[in-house]
Amino acid sequence: MKKRILGKSGLEVSALGLGCMGMSFSYGPPKDKQEMIALLRVAVERGVTFFDTAEVYGPFTNEALVGEALAPLRDQVVIATKFGFDTSVDPRGMKGAGPVLNSRPEHIREVAEASLKRLRTDVIDLFYQHRVDPDVPIEEVAGAVKELIREGKVKHFGLSEAGIQTIRRAHAVQPVAAVQNEYSLWFRRPEEGLLQTLEELGIGLVPYSPLGKGFLTGKMDASTTFDTTDFRSTLPRFTPEALQANQELVDLLGRIAVEKNATPAQIALAWLLAQKQWIVPIPGTTKLERLDENIGAVALELTRVDLGAIEKAAAQITVQGARYPDKLEELTGR
């Protein structure tokens, strides 16, 4: 597996990470624990060194799973986790007013201490603010993480779905190693100023949902249905009408995949990897065959001509449907 460095931080990780959320949370019922532990360990054997979790996934169960699976391999891996939600309320925001944020410095410290225990480690490699809390100045958040770094409990600071000015303000207090935002061929907002800012500041980008929550794999169509425990059942972009309207993008990936003897998912990931050397996507999976398929994208070379053809064709396609309900979209870009 090729390696990449997230910005100027010196944090070296595998070119493709593994998003662990779906093993415990959001995509239907939690998967079998022993099967997931085995999958996580196989990922390390395959060269994956970058694993993404969060206290809110479960809550707590995903961190515990990752901690148990990776404890025997701890010196070989980089573990990223997140703070910023009040986990005493429904974290999915599927009920009532949506998720409640809490990035007060004392809470950040409590989360760090609890995450260290669940992850069975003495240091968190990358600690992200999961969503920007408008009630807590970002300078205070960055200062709290700076203290944890000084104490040796955290190595690197990250932000997720933060706005450009927030990133600049945080970075001035404690250098930000990575920003985790959604980015893929069907969600390209990071190209509207974020990528340029990260390049200027020397910050890495960790795209989550790089396969469009499964849509870009080509395994869905307008007839696909989702269980009520599946987060996608609440997303405007996954209504039958939106899936039908967006099929054109998957068809494009499919055509290129045939030419390259690859899969649509591999083309989508290779496209992301080709955008910048400091981009490290974290596709999630619960299946070994999908893990191997995703890893195969790292060796797939898209030429300038290939990228130009994808760009030209994608420019003719307008993606339909919002990515989140309003309550969740409001939490992004602050």
Cα separation, 13 vs 148, in Å, equals 22
Cα separation, 163 vs 65, in Å, equals 31
What is the DSSP track for 34-77? HHHHHHHHHHHHTT--EEE--TTTTTTHHHHHHHHHHGGGGGG-
User: Of 57, 128, 183, 208, which is the active-site residue?
Assistant: 57
Cβ neighbours for 15, distance < 8 A, ≥ 6 positions apart: 1, 2, 3, 4, 273, 280, 298
Cα separation, 267 vs 106, in Å, equals 43
Cα separation, 39 vs 57, in Å, equals 18
| Burial degree of 34 (CB within 10 A; 0-12, 13-18, 19+) | exposed
DSSP state of 29: S
N-terminal to C-terminal alpha carbon distance within the chain = 35
CA count, 13 A, side-chain hemisphere, 245: 14
Q: Is 57 tagged catalytic?
A: yes
Chain centre distance of CA 129: 13
Q: Which of 122, 284, 137, 112 is nearest to 213 (CA)?
A: 284
Catalytic residues: 57
